[in-house]
C-alpha cells in the first residue's frame, strides 16, 4: 500500500490572502444601423397582426411568446422572486441559516521579534531576529500568525475547535462571532488523544449547535462544512457528501510533528486552511464532525473527527474544567493473520505488547495500570470486558470509551496460556 501524504488544515504560519480577479459586467452599447422607413412600416404591420391574433386566446402560445417578448409575460417580478427553491437546496439553506450564527472565526496572534531590513527591501539573515530585537527589549510586534474556526456548544460561551489551532501557549486567541463581536478566548482543555480543544469566551446567550450522532451517518449522505477558509472568508459554506467512514490517516501538525487520526470521516465538501475546528453538519442541522485535515496533492478529500469522539470531552470540561482520558499504559502492535504467521503466534487477533525502537520506549510504562496488574512484554491482550481486540476494535478505541477509575477485565495470552486480569484505569496525563 502506498503511503499518502496528509497535512493538517491549519498552520501557525500566517494565512495568505486570497486574490480575486473581478471582471466588469458592463459592456458598451453598440450603435444601431438606421433602417429604411418602409421596412419599419412592414415590421409594425406584421407585429400588429400577430398581436391581434394572440388577443383572441386566453393564453399565449409558446411560439407567440418568442415574438412578443415581455408584453406576453403573465408572471410579475414579485412572482419570480418568490419562486420555490428545490427541496434539497432549501434544506441546505435552512441548515446554514440555523447553524451560521453559532460558527466563529478564531484569530491567533503572537509577539513576533522585529526584523531589520536592508534598504533594498530584503531582510538580513533570512528574517532571523538581530540580537537587539529581543522582545524583552521592546523589539517585538504583535502579529496575526494564524486562523481557525470553531463553534459554540453552549449558550454560556463554550467553544469546540481543533487542538492544533490553539495549542501554542505563547499565543493569544480572539473569537470573532458571526455578528462581528470580537471576544478574547481562554483555552480550557486540550484532548491528549484527539485533535480537539475546548475554549471559552465570557458572556451568555450565545447560539449553540446541537451535537448529533456520528455512529448513525452513512456514506453518501449530504455533508455541509462551515468555517473561515484562508482566514479571509468567515462563515463560508461548502456542500458535499460523506465519502467514507473509519479512515485512518497521519496528519502533519507543524514543524515535522505528526498525529495519527483514527476512525475519522472523509468528505468531499471543500475544506481549506482556516476551516480547522469548524463544524461538519447533516441536513438536520446537527454537528456530525469537526473539520480537521485535508489530503495534500488531491482534490476534495477532507477529514473530520466524528462528533461522538468529542461529546465526552465537552461534558467533562463543563463539569470539571478539564479532559480526563483513561489509559492502561502499554505499547503494542495490533495482530492480523500476516503478522501472526511471521511471528509464529497461535492467534491472529489481539494487541501484542512490544517495546518501541528507542531504549526508553518501554513495552509497559513503569507505574502504569498495566504495570500494577502484572502485564509484561510479549503478553497478548485478546479482549477487554468481553470485547475482542482487533483492527476493527483497536485497544486504544475500546479504552477511550471507558472512564477514569473504571475496573476492566482483560483476557490475555501469557506464555501461551489464556487468563483474565483486572486493571483499574487511570488518567493519561498530557505529554
The half-sphere exposure of 107 on its side-chain side, counting CA atoms within 13 A, is 16
Torsion angle (degrees, nearest 10) of CA 287, 151, 400, 428:
180
Evaluate whether 166 touches 184 at the Cβ level (below 8 Å). Answer: no
| Active-site residue, from 8, 11, 147, 164 | 164
CA distance 177 to 105: 7
The half-sphere exposure of 421 on its side-chain side, counting CA atoms within 13 A, is 25
| Active-site residue, from 191, 195, 263, 379 | 195
> CA nearest 164: which of 147, 184, 179?
147
Torsion angle (degrees, nearest 10) of CA 303, 308, 309, 314:
120
| Active-site residue, from 214, 276, 285, 368 | 276
Distances in Å between the Cα of 353 and the Cα atoms of 62, 121, 427 are 78, 57, 20
CA distance 242 to 224: 10
Residue 149, helix vs strand vs coil: strand
Cross-strand partners of 175? 106, 183
Is 414 annotated in the active site? no
Is 147 annotated in the active site? no
Is 276 annotated in the active site? yes
CA distance 52 to 399: 83
CA distance 65 to 373: 86
Q: List the catalytic residues.
A: 164, 195, 276
Amino acid at each position: 500500500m502506498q503511503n499518502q501524504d496528509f497535512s493538517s488544515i491549519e498552520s501557525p504560519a500566517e494565512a495568505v490572502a486570497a486574490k480575486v480577479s473581478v471582471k466588469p459586467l458592463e459592456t458598451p452599447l453598440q450603435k444601431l444601423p438606421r433602417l429604411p422607413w418602409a421596412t419599419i412600416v412592414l415590421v409594425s404591420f406584421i407585429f400588429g397582426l400577430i398581436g391581434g391574433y394572440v388577443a383572441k386566446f386566453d393564453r399565449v402560445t409558446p411560439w407567440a411568446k418568442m415574438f412578443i417578448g415581455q408584453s406576453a409575460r403573465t408572471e410579475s417580478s414579485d412572482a419570480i422572486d418568490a419562486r420555490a427553491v428545490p427541496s434539497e437546496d432549501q434544506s441546505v439553506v435552512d441548515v446554514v441559516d440555523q447553524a451560521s450564527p453559532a460558527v466563529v472565526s478564531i484569530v491567533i496572534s503572537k509577539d513576533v521579534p522585529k526584523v531589520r531590513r536592508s534598504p533594498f527591501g530584503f531582510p538580513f539573515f533570512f528574517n532571523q531576529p538581530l540580537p537587539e530585537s529581543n522582545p524583552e527589549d521592546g523589539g517585538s510586534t504583535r502579529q496575526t500568525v494564524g486562523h481557525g474556526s470553531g463553534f459554540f456548544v453552549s449558550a454560556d460561551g463554550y467553544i469546540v475547535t481543533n487542538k492544533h489551532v490553539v495549542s501554542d501557549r505563547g499565543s493569544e486567541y480572539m473569537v470573532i462571532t458571526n455578528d462581528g463581536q470580537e471576544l478574547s478566548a481562554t483555552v480550557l482543555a486540550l484532548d491528549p488523544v484527539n485533535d480537539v480543544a475546548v475554549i471559552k469566551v465570557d458572556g451568555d446567550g450565545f447560539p449553540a449547535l446541537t451535537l448529533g450522532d456520528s455512529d448513525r451517518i452513512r456514506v453518501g449522505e449530504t455533508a455541509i462544512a462551515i468555517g473561515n477558509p484562508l482566514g479571509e472568508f468567515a462563515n463560508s459554506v461548502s456542500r458535499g457528501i460523506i465519502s467514507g467512514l473509519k479512515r485512518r490517516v497521519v496528519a502533519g501538525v507543524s514543524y515535522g510533528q505528526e498525529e495519527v487520526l483514527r476512525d475519522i470521516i472523509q468528505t468531499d465538501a471543500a475544506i481549506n486552511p482556516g476551516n480547522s475546528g469548524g463544524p461538519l453538519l447533516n441536513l438536520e442541522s446537527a454537528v456530525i464532525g469537526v473539520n480537521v485535515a485535508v489530503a495534500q496533492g488531491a482534490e476534495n478529500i477532507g477529514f473530520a473527527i466524528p462528533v461522538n469522539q468529542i461529546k465526552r470531552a465537552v461534558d467533562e470540561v463543563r463539569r470539571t474544567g478539564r479532559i480526563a482520558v483513561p489509559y492502561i499504559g502499554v505499547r503494542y502492535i495490533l495482530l492480523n493473520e500476516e503478522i501472526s504467521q511471521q511471528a509464529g503466534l497461535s492467534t491472529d487477533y489481539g494487541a501484542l505488547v512490544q517495546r518501541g525502537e528507542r531504549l526508553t520506549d518501554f513495552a509497559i510504562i513503569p507505574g502504569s495500570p498495566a504495570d500494577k496488574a502484572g502485564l509484561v512484554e510479549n503478553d497478548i491482550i485478546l479482549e477487554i470486558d468481553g470485547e475482542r481486540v482487533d483492527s476493527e476494535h483497536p485497544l486504544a478505541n475500546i479504552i477511550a470509551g471507558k472512564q477514569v477509575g473504571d475496573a476492566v477485565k482483560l483476557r490475555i495470552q501469557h506464555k501461551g496460556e489464556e487468563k483474565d486480569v483486572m486493571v483499574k484505569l487511570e488518567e493519561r496525563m498530557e505529554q
